[in-house]
Amino acid sequence: MNTFSVTGMDFWYGTHHALEKIDMEISANAITAFIGPSGCGKSTFLRTLNRMNDTIDGVRVEGSILFKGLDIYRDYDVLDLRSQVGMVFQKPNPFPMSIYDNIAYGPRLNNSRIARSELDGIVEESLKDAALWDEVKDRLGKSAMGLSGGQQQRLCIARTLAVKPEVILMDEPTSALDPISTSHIEDLCYSLKEKYTLIIVTHNMQQASRISDYTAFFMINDERCGYLVESGDTRSVFYNPKNKKTEAYISGRFG
């Protein structure tokens, strides 16, 4: 089953044509990795999937992006879309409040009358799903700013999970982390796909090959416009690519 179906998508920042004719199916309950050189539009495409780019003046999108069969621009309220398609950013961005209140923020926003007992359950479940509960359960009232970088990133993942999304977008979620914290996030991603669809932008070829089920390789043309070279199951893209450009990039001959 596909979560997203993208057909003939073009994207502009003002007059700059940033992405050209993107066609892609994104499978549910799987990890899809976006790889490619800097500036090829991976993060732009990722942010289009929950309309984060709407916050930038002068952007324009053409083509079709369907989420669960419905057009994300015509058939979804943007806040409803973002509640179903969550986002985790490159640098951990915990709110300057307690660990508990970070997780409770979204549920409270969605339901101002939510009972404390229900909130307690959401906080515990979200932290457990993010593999952080055992590390923080005795200091939920302490500031989230006191957590390590890796813990802060898992907290941000837990905060995303608290509003019960179906999809989690991750924009280089481990690039600011040490190797041990990176390993924790990778293990977490692998376990989360049982419940969620994950889409991850990464510059780390080894990470993409380790944790993703599907890989999409993007390039940039002479006009500085990003395009999709090929996509498919990760083993095929890495070990039997259809396009010579994919083979050259994965083998390190350019990019």
pLDDT tens-digit map of 5-56: 999 999 999 999 999 999 999 999 999 999 999 999 999 999 999 999 998 9
Average pLDDT over residues 106-126: 95
pLDDT band at 251 (very low <50, low <70, confident <90, very high): confident
Mean pLDDT of the region 221-247: 95
Task: Please report which confidence band the pLDDT of residue 222 belongs to, taking 50, 70 and 90 as the band edges.
Answer: confident
Q: Which two tokens stand for residue 197?
A: 């669809």
Mean local confidence (pLDDT), 101-122: 95
- What's residue 55's pLDDT? 87
Using one digit for the tens of pLDDT, what is the confidence trace for 44-77? Answer: 999 999 999 998 999 999 999 999 999 999 999 9
Q: Please list, in sequence order, all residues whose beta carbon lies within 8 angstroms of the beta carbon of residue 129, skipping any fewer than 6 positions away.
A: 158, 161, 192, 195
Q: Which residues contact 245 (CB under 8 A, 6 or more apart)?
A: 217, 219, 229
Query: How much of the chain exceeds pLDDT 90, in percent?
Result: 91
Residues in the chain: 255
Tokens 């990470």 sit on residue = 207
Mean pLDDT of the region 185-201: 94
> pLDDT band for position 235 (50/70/90)?
very high
Q: What is the mean pLDDT of residues 82-103?
A: 95
Average pLDDT, the chain: 94
The residue among 67, 74, 92 whose CA lies nearest residue 184 is: 92
pLDDT number for residue 254: 61
Residue 255 has pLDDT above 60, yes or no: no
| Average pLDDT of the residues in 96-104 | 98
**The predicted structure's pLDDT at residue 7:** 97
pLDDT band, residue 118 (cuts 50/70/90) = very high
Q: How confident is the model at residue 2 (pLDDT cuts 50, 70, 90)?
A: confident
Confidence band (pLDDT; 50, 70, 90) for 168? very high
Residue 179 scores a pLDDT above 80: yes
